[in-house]
């Protein structure tokens, strides 16, 4: 992340020789495993690693239940920037290996970070910013998500077949990602798709459920999704359906859009290969 010097956040953002970016946060953050509070901090810092698209929190040691941490028996390699010290977490239930670590940067030497990006099994179960539970990863204070109703004409094709046609979309604008087009269910050929048990969580939007294309062609699974109960900030997408722009063809107001390349592109390609598609 590079901010213009005039940006207000540029005055608080720090850079370390290891390539980490970090800044203090004023949010009260708590993390729990079962009924045990492992972290309770009013002085967290947000840290951006060069290879991860989202931030994570690190906490002063005195705000962490360090009595629950033991040096990792099998420290992971290559999962975070630099040479860290990893800890196994001994809290409620089974030991969680490699659940916590320290960054090598001198600026962050008194801080401990915990897994929760991608909601790995080694991470903490529940996280809260103030009194709101947060999922998957911390919200980026430099990222914005807007869901705006529109009357633009959106047509979606899969393998040359029209699968959706709408003049009442909600356009979702999310920093660093392509515009997503959320369409009313009645404007989507859901008979051409099959619901799956796949779901994902997003700290900005909520929990999504998915559908897979029934037809032939090089179409990854779970190409279509919906938020039945979105978070209040994007309530306008409730019950609507959206496609991955990366793998379908979208015609907007009569103009075909290019398929974007995003952090999801590799995941979608691998999903297609896993189904035996070329």
Give the CATH number for residue 51.
2.170.150.40
Together in a domain, 245 and 158: yes
**Paired strand residues for 132:** 129
Together in a domain, 21 and 83: yes
What's the confidence (pLDDT) of residue 105? Answer: 87
Domain boundary at 112, 134, 156, which?
134
Report pTM: 0.80
Together in a domain, 150 and 247: yes
Together in a domain, 107 and 175: no
Together in a domain, 173 and 105: no
* 140 domain-assigned: no
Together in a domain, 153 and 128: no
Together in a domain, 108 and 153: no
* 96 domain-assigned: yes
Mean pLDDT per 10-residue run, the chain (278 residues)?
49 83 95 95 94 89 97 86 86 90 90 77 87 89 94 96 98 94 98 95 93 90 96 96 96 96 81 42
CA proximity to 108, closest of 49, 40, 56, 60: 60
Domain boundary at 134, 159, 177, which?
134
Together in a domain, 189 and 160: yes
* 155 domain-assigned: yes
Domain boundary at 109, 134, 159, which?
134
Q: How many domains does the chain have?
A: 2
* 2 domain-assigned: no
Residue 266, domain extent:
145-274
3-state secondary structure of 211: strand
Helix (H) or strand (E) holding 24: strand 21-24
Together in a domain, 164 and 260: yes
Together in a domain, 253 and 182: yes
* 3 domain-assigned: no
* 246 domain-assigned: yes
What's the confidence (pLDDT) of residue 52? Answer: 80
CA distances from 204 to 143, 268, 274 (A): 10, 21, 29
Together in a domain, 114 and 165: no
What's the confidence (pLDDT) of residue 2? Answer: 54
Together in a domain, 191 and 127: no
Would you say how long the chain is, in residues?
278
CA distances from 76 to 86, 105, 264 (A): 8, 18, 24
Pairing between β-strand 96-101 and β-strand 255-256 as defined by DSSP bridges: unpaired
């Amino acid at each position: 992340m590079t901010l213009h010097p005039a940006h207000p956040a540029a005055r608080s953002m720090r850079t370390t020789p290891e390539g980490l970016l970090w800044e203090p946060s004023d949010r009260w953050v708590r993390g729990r495993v079962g009924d045990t509070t492992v972290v309770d901090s009013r002085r967290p810092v947000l840290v951006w690693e060069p290879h991860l698209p989202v931030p994570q929190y690190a906490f002063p040691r005195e705000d962490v239940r360090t009595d629950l941490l033991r040096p990792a028996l099998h420290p992971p390699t290559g999962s975070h920037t630099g040479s860290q010290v990893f800890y196994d977490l001994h809290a409620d239930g089974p030991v969680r290996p490699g659940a916590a670590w320290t960054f090598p940067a001198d600026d962050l030497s008194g801080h401990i970070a915990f897994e929760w990006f991608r909601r790995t099994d080694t991470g903490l179960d529940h996280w809260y910013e103030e009194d709101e539970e947060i999922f998957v990863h911390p919200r980026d204070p430099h990222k914005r998500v807007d869901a705006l109703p529109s009357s633009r004409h959106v047509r979606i094709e899969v393998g040359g077949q029209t699968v959706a046609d709408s003049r009442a979309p909600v356009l979702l604008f999310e920093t660093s990602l392509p515009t997503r087009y959320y369409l009313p269910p009645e404007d989507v050929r859901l008979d051409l798709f099959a619901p799956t048990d796949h779901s994902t969580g997003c700290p900005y939007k909520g929990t999504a459920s998915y559908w897979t294309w029934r037809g032939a062609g090089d179409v990854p699974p779970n190409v279509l999704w919906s938020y039945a109960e979105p978070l209040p900030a994007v309530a306008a997408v409730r019950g609507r359906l959206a496609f991955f722009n990366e793998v379908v063809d979208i015609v907007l107001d009569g103009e075909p859009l290019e398929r974007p390349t995003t952090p999801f592109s590799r995941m979608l390609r691998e999903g297609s290969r896993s189904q035996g598609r070329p």
